């Protein structure tokens, strides 16, 4: 497992820097096609490739400069960094269980260099132990980076890669739980994907992210990471979960079921919400409170853990709205899409114009699934004529499955079969808690502040 | 204005029934291509055309039978209906102001016929007065039906029709306020459209719907209708608003600003929520409480009311997700769409693969707008590399405008101009309360019930 946190240049950049006798923290003057820059060569950023240098300019900004743009580089001195790889090395504690932290991208922790102002990703076990000493109270942490991606660039193929890595970690390291650090943009999509992939889980698989990077005073990294590691060791829930801030205050995290969670705010630390149910658990420091009764427990699984990671990426998500032209259906049929998930209005409706065009998809053996853009509440196609017309066409209603979860599930189901009756059966069956049969009145959790609270 | 509620057959059906000497409430035996049915001929349903008969079967169900399918019809007797057009006629009260109720479809009120079990739409002033006598305390109500559509079939052309009807009512009836009865599926889309169309409003324009039809004991029709008529007469807010149940209890309604409201539940009576702000007002019986301070007041408008109702329907709403193929952009370019609204992830992101393909849209003078599928919180394309790459491509971020509202606004703006700088300016300018500059901490109103409430 990597212990270096990828702070050093490699490949072309490393060869080129070596040839010029320039090292990290060198003061440099760069003549480039885009102008001349003076600054300090920083360690490679977390998202860095081997074709860019990162320079801290004297005005405080960091810029990435493409090697191809550089006409000349001159070393003018050497800065002294106060950032150091931690000197203290922590030994493995034989009395503690093992947790593996899997990195997919985004910054879990970062070290601020006070001389240059540079924020440097920290990911190795030793760095994390130094940043968050409490980690050692819970476990022996091992870290492994499987990819370095902003989560908006995560694709179905990456879900498979992560799942395979989880299986390899279980086989080789046999940790009590796995924590996956993931960018927050599509964290819930990956959580849903892993929920369908992994069968017979006997330990928690916990996705964690941070809404504010760890160099900001308001960062949620520490609480989220500590909460997720605590959960990996101590919660008795053997499911795929998301661990994020419970409220905007700085004390507790929630564990959300991977198939019922959604990012509901662009920037708040408590952006992730379980839709139409309580989260599975709440962790405040060392205190764990279970909020649900039905979940898979450790050791409850009847068979061995398996990863069934096949996805059909050609599934469309169509958000119905007034003016939606039915020609979009022809497009997906012509492009050989294998399924279409609608986020319909209300109980799961589209216009009659759209319904009339569904024929072409159905005739091509392309199943149409119906969810609701309301997000809360069940679809019901039996109440109105529109719904009944959709049913007549063979549209498959998906209960209260969230549109994004329905998309991920459809990709997974259609990765296994195109037989419509079997597709219908699998999509309507509750495989990983994605359908809540009965939403409780109390779980419609959108309140309008003010007078209606009374 | 119509006083008959469209209960009678017309056109081909009327001619054909007359020829057979069959009237509404006749007991009939029908031999059809699909089998033989016995039952009672009901009044034509609210959505009925002139090619179907509605029959109440002896098992209690109503069916619509296509005239073309009928081989033979035999009258076997005549049922007696207890349903009657109200005998009491109410006179206009010269001391009360006028409110006009505009019908677009859906059932505002209905009368149950206890003999046949038939639910018959009631919409005329006299019928509504009889159903809800309190209406006469507020105003002289006048009713007008402009269309009979399920709201999922409402198109941008219908928004224009409704706006023109509003202008005609203002000119001819000069009511103190207008209430528009509308199906709930796309009620909020129409509310947003009217908010952009109508300028210099000097009276409230209130959209009202019901989540449960008025023949059900749990119907919200009465409270919503009475609340909206009360508001039309008494609130000092001259804006386009949505009036719906405040909570799941049976007492109060909220007035939501037309550009900030969203249907958040498929079936609950309090499904409509103002996103990221308080509603404008709360009405409980005769008591009106204002929850906001900034709104257009009656008589505050500087000019005459105008309707600027031009829409470019060829605007796409693309919901970004892992696996989204950039080819969808080519499709919209090839189909001559004039704008694309993205519901991006997180702060307003898409994958780099999608960003790379935006060129083709930008080169074709097609503006790309960015909103967030989180629904709460502002887009911010300055924080991460992905956002900055989107900005570099010319993507136009829309603050915290809701994706659906952004779609409606883009249709409206692009109906007026294709000049990108002007499009950008109009889209980013707050024209009708669609952008909240600063979301308050308290207005992130999704709570997870349970332990975090403390």
Which of B159, B185, B449 comes nearest A443 by C-beta? B449
Q: What is the 3-state secondary structure (H, E, C) of B20-40?
A: CCCCCCEEEEEEECCEEEEEE
pLDDT digits (tens, 9 = 90+) for A374-394: 999 999 998 888 898 999 999
Catalytic residue among B8, B49, B50, B185: B185
- Ranges A3-12, A241-250, B304-313, B322-331: which has the least confidence: A3-12
Contacts of B186 in chain A (CB under 8 A): 321-322, 345
Contacts of B243 in chain A (CB under 8 A): none
Whole-number Å distance between alpha carbons of B112 and B83: 7
According to the model, what pLDDT value does residue B4 have?
33
Contacts of B344 in chain A (CB under 8 A): 152
CA distance A374 to chain B (A): 4
According to the model, what pLDDT value does residue A49 have?
73
Beta-bridge partner residues of B12: none
Across the interface, whether the CB atoms of B349 and A317 are under 8 A apart is answered no
According to the model, what pLDDT value does residue B393 have?
93
CA distances from A312 to A5, A157, A408, A418 (A): 34, 10, 9, 10
Catalytic residue among B54, B98, B184, B221: B184
Catalytic residue among B144, B263, B273, B278: B263
CB A373 within 8 A of CB A319: yes
Q: Is the dihedral of CA A161, A167, A169, A175 positive or negative?
A: positive
According to the model, what pLDDT value does residue A113 have?
54
Residue of B nearest to A291 (CA): B450
Question: In the structure encoding, which two tokens stand for residue A75, read together?
Answer: 């070393």
Report which of residues A57 and A168 the model is more confident about. A168
Residue of B nearest to A371 (CA): B266
Catalytic residue among A263, A273, A278, A409: A263
Which of A153, A265, A328 comes nearest B377 by C-beta? A265
What's this model's pTM, rounded to 2 decimal places?
A: 0.83
Q: Is the pLDDT of residue A343 over 80?
A: yes
Q: Is the pLDDT of residue A4 over 50?
A: no
Across the interface, whether the CB atoms of B322 and A155 are under 8 A apart is answered yes
Residue of B nearest to A317 (CA): B319
Strands (DSSP E) contained in B174-250 are 177-181, 198-199, 205-208, 240-245
No. of helices (H) and no. of strands (E), chain A: 11, 23
Mean per-residue pLDDT, A259-272? 94
Active site residue A263: yes
Q: What is the largest CA-CA distance in chain B?
A: 77
Q: Is the pLDDT of residue A285 over 80?
A: yes
CA distance A296 to chain B (A): 21
Report which of residues A2 and B22 the model is more confident about. B22
Closest CA to B216 of B250, B181, B193: B250
Q: Which of A245, A446, A447, A453 to mutate to test the interface with B (most CBs of B within 10 A)?
A: A446
pLDDT digits (tens, 9 = 90+) for A103-129: 998 666 666 555 555 556 667 777 788
Residue of B nearest to A354 (CA): B153
Residue of B nearest to A274 (CA): B448
According to the model, what pLDDT value does residue A352 have?
95
Contacts of B384 in chain A (CB under 8 A): 150
Across the interface, whether the CB atoms of B375 and A313 are under 8 A apart is answered no
Contacts of A152 in chain B (CB under 8 A): 320, 344-346, 349-352, 386
According to the model, what pLDDT value does residue A173 have?
95
CA distances from B407 to B199, B319, B340, B341 (A): 19, 12, 8, 6
Residue-range domains of chain A with CATH: 11-78 (2.30.30.520), 98-307 (3.40.50.1170), 315-428 (3.40.50.40)
Across the interface, whether the CB atoms of A452 and B252 are under 8 A apart is answered yes
Across the interface, whether the CB atoms of A411 and B323 are under 8 A apart is answered yes
Residue pairs spanning A and B at CB distance below 8 A: 245
CB B423 within 8 A of CB B414: yes
Across the interface, whether the CB atoms of A155 and B351 are under 8 A apart is answered yes
Contacts of B159 in chain A (CB under 8 A): 322
> Which letter does DSSP use for residue A446 in this model?
B
Report helix, strand and coil shares of chain A as percent, to nearest 5.
25, 25, 45
Per residue of chain B (454 residues), what is the pLDDT tens digit?
Answer: 333 333 468 788 888 888 888 888 889 999 998 889 998 888 765 445 788 888 888 776 677 888 889 998 999 988 766 554 454 567 889 999 999 999 998 666 666 555 555 556 667 777 788 778 889 899 999 999 899 888 999 999 999 999 999 999 999 999 999 999 999 999 999 999 999 999 999 999 999 998 876 666 677 888 999 999 999 999 999 999 999 998 877 789 999 999 999 999 999 899 999 999 989 999 998 899 999 999 999 989 889 999 999 999 999 999 999 999 999 999 999 999 999 999 999 999 999 999 999 999 999 999 999 999 999 999 999 888 889 999 999 999 999 999 999 999 999 999 999 999 999 999 999 999 999 988 877 666 665 554 444 3
Catalytic residue among A125, A184, A186, A386: A184
CA distance B92 to chain A (A): 36
| Local confidence band at A356 (pLDDT 50, 70, 90 cut-offs) | very high
Which of B351, B376, B448 comes nearest A274 by C-beta? B448
Whole-number Å distance between alpha carbons of A54 and A120: 11
Across the interface, whether the CB atoms of B374 and A335 are under 8 A apart is answered no
Across the interface, whether the CB atoms of A189 and B321 are under 8 A apart is answered yes
Which of A270, A327, A451 comes nearest B282 by C-beta? A451
pLDDT digits (tens, 9 = 90+) for A154-178: 999 999 999 999 999 999 999 999 9
Mean model confidence pLDDT for chain A: 87
Whole-number Å distance between alpha carbons of A72 and B418: 45
Which of A254, A324, A375 comes nearest B264 by C-beta? A375
Residue of B nearest to A276 (CA): B448
Question: In the structure encoding, which two tokens stand for residue A14, read together?
Answer: 């490393």
Q: Which of B322, B370, B384 to mutate to test the interface with A (most CBs of A within 10 A)?
A: B322
Report which of residues A4 and A52 the model is more confident about. A52
Which of B47, B271, B321 comes nearest A404 by C-beta? B321
Across the interface, whether the CB atoms of A279 and B450 are under 8 A apart is answered yes
Active site residue B104: no
């Amino acid at each position: 497992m990597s212990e270096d946190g990828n702070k050093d240049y490699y490949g072309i950049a490393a060869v080129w820097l070596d040839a010029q006798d320039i090292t990290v923290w060198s003061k440099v003057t760069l003549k480039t096609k885009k102008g001349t820059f003076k600054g300090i060569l920083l360690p490679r950023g977390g998202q860095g490739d081997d074709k860019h240098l990162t320079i801290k300019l004297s005005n405080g900004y960091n810029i990435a400069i493409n090697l191809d743009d550089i006409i000349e580089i001159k070393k003018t001195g050497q800065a002294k960094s106060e950032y150091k790889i931690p000197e203290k090395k922590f030994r493995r504690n034989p009395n503690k269980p093992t947790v593996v932290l899997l990195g997919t991208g985004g910054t879990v922790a970062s070290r601020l260099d006070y001389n240059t102002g540079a924020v440097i990703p920290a990911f190795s076990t030793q760095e994390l132990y130094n940043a968050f000493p409490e980690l050692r109270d819970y476990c022996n942490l091992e870290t492994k980076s499987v990819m370095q991606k902003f989560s908006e660039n995560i694709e179905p193929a990456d879900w498979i890669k992560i799942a395979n890595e989880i299986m390899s970690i279980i086989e080789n390291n046999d940790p009590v739980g796995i924590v996956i650090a993931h960018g927050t943009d599509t964290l819930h999509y990956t959580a849903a994907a892993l929920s369908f992939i992994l069968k017979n889980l006997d330990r928690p698989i916990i996705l964690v992210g941070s809404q504010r990077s760890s160099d900001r005073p308001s960062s949620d990294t520490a609480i989220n990471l500590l909460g997720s590691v605590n959960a990996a060791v101590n919660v008795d829930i053997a499911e795929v979960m998301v661990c994020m801030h419970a409220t905007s205050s700085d004390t507790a995290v929630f564990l959300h079921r991977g198939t019922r969670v959604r990012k509901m705010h662009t920037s708040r630390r408590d952006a992730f919400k379980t839709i139409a149910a309580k989260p599975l658990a709440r962790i405040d420091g060392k205190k764990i409170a279970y909020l649900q009764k039905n979940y898979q427990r450790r050791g409850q699984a009847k068979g061995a853990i398996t990863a069934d990671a096949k996805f059909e990426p050609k599934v469309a998500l169509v958000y119905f709205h007034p003016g939606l032209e039915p020609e979009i259906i022809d497009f997906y049929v012509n492009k050989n899409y294998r399924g279409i998930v609608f986020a319909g209005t209300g109980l799961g409706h589209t216009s009659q114009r759209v319904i009339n065009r569904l024929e072409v998809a159905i005739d091509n053996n392309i199943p149409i699934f119906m969810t609701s853009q309301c997000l809360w509440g069940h679809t019901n196609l039996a109440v109105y004529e529109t719904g009944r017309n959709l049913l007549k066409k063979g549209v498959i209603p998906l209960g209260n499955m969230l549109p994004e979860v329905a998309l991920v599930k459809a990709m997974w189901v259609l990765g296994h079969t195109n037989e419509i009756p079997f597709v219908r059966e699998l999509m309507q069956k509750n495989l990983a808690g994605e359908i809540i049969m009965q939403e409780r009145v109390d779980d419609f959790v959108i309140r309008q502040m003010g007078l209606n609270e009374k």
